[in-house]
Amino acid sequence: MNGARFFRRVQDAPWYAHFLQPVLAALPAQPGAAVLDVGTGAGKLMELGQALPHLHWTGADTDAAMLAEARQRPLLHQTPLHQLTPGDPLPFPDAQFDAVTFCSVLFLLPDPTPLLAEAWRMLRPNGRLIALTPSGGAGTPDIMGTIGWHPSNWTFFLWRQMTAGNGRRWAQQKTLADFARQHGAAYEKKLVFHDLAVVEWVQRANT
Ligand X SMILES: C[S@@+](CC[C@H](N)C(=O)[O-])C[C@H]1O[C@@H](n2cnc3c(N)ncnc32)[C@H](O)[C@@H]1O
CB of 23 to ligand X, least distance (A): 8
Residue 67 vs residues 79, 83, 129, 130, 146: alpha-carbon distances, Å? 11, 7, 22, 21, 29
Compare residues 33 and 84 and give the one whose CB is closer to ligand X: 84
Q: Among residues 32, 145, 162, which one has the least CA distance to residue 107?
A: 162
Compare residues 79 and 104 and give the one whose CB is closer to ligand X: 104
The residues of the shown chain that bind ligand X, judged by CB under 6 A, are: 11, 38-41, 44-45, 61-63, 66, 84, 86, 103-105, 108-109, 115
CB of 112 to ligand X, least distance (A): 8
CB of 87 to ligand X, least distance (A): 8
- Quote the CA–CA distance of 147 and 52 in Å, as a whole number: 22
- Quote the CA–CA distance of 90 and 71 in Å, as a whole number: 20
Compare residues 16 and 180 and give the one whose CB is closer to ligand X: 16
Compare residues 22 and 28 and give the one whose CB is closer to ligand X: 22
CB of 69 to ligand X, least distance (A): 9
Q: Among residues 139, 99, 147, 143, which one has the least CA distance to residue 119?
A: 99
CB of 20 to ligand X, least distance (A): 6
- Quote the CA–CA distance of 197 and 174 in Å, as a whole number: 14
Q: What is the DSSP letter of 68?
A: H
Compare residues 40 and 135 and give the one whose CB is closer to ligand X: 40
- Quote the CA–CA distance of 163 and 16 in Å, as a whole number: 14
